[in-house]
């Protein structure tokens, strides 16, 4: 199973920090990377996209046994793909402590929550809680910090935690180079608190803004490990071969990225997903939003094709599409009574229209305006 580092999903969820329900159509479905406040939280967009469908025939060899008589030796049965398993969100923020969860999701086995104070402080940005599955958490990078106690457990507070981001061109900030080593990377700093829950989950609070120690310590006391199923406004079965749901943003905007071809390509050891690094990721992205918010995106001058429970508009020509994509890609607009969605495929030669439509036909669409109707998410 692919695993990812601390900063992946907090940058994806930064889009929710800026706006709870961002426009979905007209931009590439993406994992959005938000830089620290010093860099005005510039967003780096990326998508994990495209998948290859491979068919293989198994031959049955004819051999001769010791008596000279022909004997058929049947090959071992091919290994079946792993059965889908429910996605579990391990942690949440308990109400009544002065914080609100703006969005949540996961990348690999790591859950993340985007949190801010209920009383908005314009000088304070969002914080992120990363929740690592038992056995995948490493305390070592944080042990340089101040020892603290979080809910009775030992932890560390690091006021200036260093991490790498793509460098900003010379002169863009403070009139000086942002790439002193000439490697295309710049060291930035944020505040982190790391601790381990008795259940085995490892947790890390990340704050873009430094100097808010009291607020950081109040927030970590409000985090509760209470596993629950993740839900989405879609239930699907006919996923193109070789891909697996690895990245998700959940909430009023649901973005699901199905990945093949190994772990997404990353430029730094912080695993920031960037648009220019998307070549290392094969798969596709499905985004769904409530129709009342996105009804203006549904074409009225082009007839749809009915596939399963939805009307769709499949597009391969970027110049004629309301969906943003490149020349080798495809975009499919989806509309139901309560949802508007988009499927973005990186390589239409690898994921042709027939595969896209088969996937859509397998989807049981729920009411995008009513999370109580949503289905448990599986991968």
Cα 224 from Cα 199, distance rounded (Å): 11
Q: What is the pLDDT of residue 28?
A: 31
Distances (CA, A) of 220 to 117, 238, 239, 363: 12, 40, 38, 38
Cα 205 from Cα 196, distance rounded (Å): 12
Cα 357 from Cα 258, distance rounded (Å): 16
Cα 371 from Cα 379, distance rounded (Å): 19
Q: Which of 190, 179, 193, 70 lies closest to 129, judged by CA?
A: 193
CB–CB of 170/178 below 8 Å?
Answer: yes
Strands 110-117 and 99-107: antiparallel
Which residues lie across from 192 on neighbouring strands?
158, 206
Contacts of range 5-8, beta carbons closer than 8 Å, 24 or more positions apart: 5/110, 5/269, 5/270, 5/271, 6/110, 6/130, 6/204, 6/206, 6/270, 6/271, 7/163, 7/206, 7/270, 7/271, 7/272, 8/107, 8/108, 8/110, 8/112, 8/247, 8/271, 8/272, 8/273
Q: What is the pLDDT of residue 127?
A: 87
Look up tokens 């944020």; give the residue.
190
Q: Which of 270, 271, 265, 3 lies closest to 134, judged by CA?
A: 3
> Which two three-digit tokens encode residue 88?
């579990």
Q: Which part of the chain has CATH 2.60.120?
A: 236-376
Q: What is the pLDDT of residue 90?
A: 94
CA 127, 130, 136 angle in degrees (round to 5)?
160
The H-or-E segment that residue 215 falls in is: helix 213-222
Cα 268 from Cα 275, distance rounded (Å): 14
Q: What is the pLDDT of residue 118?
A: 86
Q: What is the CATH code of the structural domain delimited by 236-376?
A: 2.60.120
Q: What is the pLDDT of residue 137?
A: 86
For residue 78, what is the DSSP state?
P
The pTM of this model reads 0.72
Q: What pLDDT tens digit does each residue of the chain (379 aa) get?
A: 444 444 444 444 444 444 443 333 333 333 333 333 333 333 323 333 222 222 222 233 333 333 444 334 444 444 555 667 889 999 999 999 989 998 899 888 888 898 988 887 766 677 889 999 898 888 899 999 999 999 999 999 999 888 777 676 655 555 444 566 666 777 888 899 999 999 999 999 998 776 788 889 999 999 999 999 999 999 998 888 778 888 889 988 999 988 876 544 333 223 333 333 343 456 899 999 999 888 888 988 889 999 999 999 998 766 655 555 677 888 999 999 999 999 988 888 888 899 999 999 999 999 999 999 999 999 8
Q: What is the pLDDT of residue 80?
A: 54
């Amino acid at each position: 199973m692919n695993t990812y580092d601390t900063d992946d999903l907090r940058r994806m969820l930064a889009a929710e920090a800026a706006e709870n329900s961002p426009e979905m159509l007209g931009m590439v479905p993406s994992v959005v990377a938000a830089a620290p406040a010093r860099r005005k939280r510039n967003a780096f967009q990326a998508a994990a996209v495209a998948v290859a469908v491979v068919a293989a025939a198994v031959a049955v060899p004819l051999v001769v046994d010791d008596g000279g008589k022909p004997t058929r030796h049947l090959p071992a049965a091919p290994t079946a793909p792993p059965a889908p398993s429910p996605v579990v969100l391990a942690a949440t923020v308990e109400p009544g402590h002065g914080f609100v969860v703006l969005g949540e999701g996961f990348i690999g086995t790591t859950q993340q929550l985007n949190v801010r104070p209920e009383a908005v402080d314009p000088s304070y940005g969002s914080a992120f809680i990363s929740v690592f599955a038992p056995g995948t958490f490493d305390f070592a990078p944080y042990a340089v910090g101040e020892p603290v106690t979080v809910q009775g457990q030992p932890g560390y507070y690091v006021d200036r935690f260093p991490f790498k981001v793509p460098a900003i061109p010379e002169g863009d900030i403070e009139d000086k180079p942002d790439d002193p080593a000439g490697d295309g990377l710049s060291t930035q700093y944020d505040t982190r608190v790391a601790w381990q829950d008795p259940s085995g989950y490892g947790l890390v609070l990340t704050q873009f803004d430094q100097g808010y120690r009291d607020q950081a310590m109040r927030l970590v006391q409000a985090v509760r490990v209470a596993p629950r199923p993740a839900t989405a406004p879609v239930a699907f079965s006919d996923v193109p071969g070789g891909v697996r749901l690895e990245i998700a943003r959940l909430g009023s905007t649901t973005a699901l990225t199905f990945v093949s071809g190994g772990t997404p390509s990353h430029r730094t050891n912080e695993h920031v997903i960037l648009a220019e690094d998307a070549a290392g990721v094969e798969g596709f992205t499905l985004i769904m939003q409530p129709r009342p918010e996105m009804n203006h995106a549904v074409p009225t001058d082009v007839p749809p094709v009915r596939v399963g429970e939805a009307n769709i508009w499949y597009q391969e020509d970027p110049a004629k599409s309301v969906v943003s994509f490149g020349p080798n890609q495809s975009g499919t607009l989806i509309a139901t009574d309560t949802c508007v969605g988009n499927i973005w495929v990186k390589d239409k030669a690898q994921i042709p229209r027939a595969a896209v439509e088969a996937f859509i036909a397998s989807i049981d669409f729920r009411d995008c305006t009513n999370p109580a109707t949503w289905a448990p998410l599986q991968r």
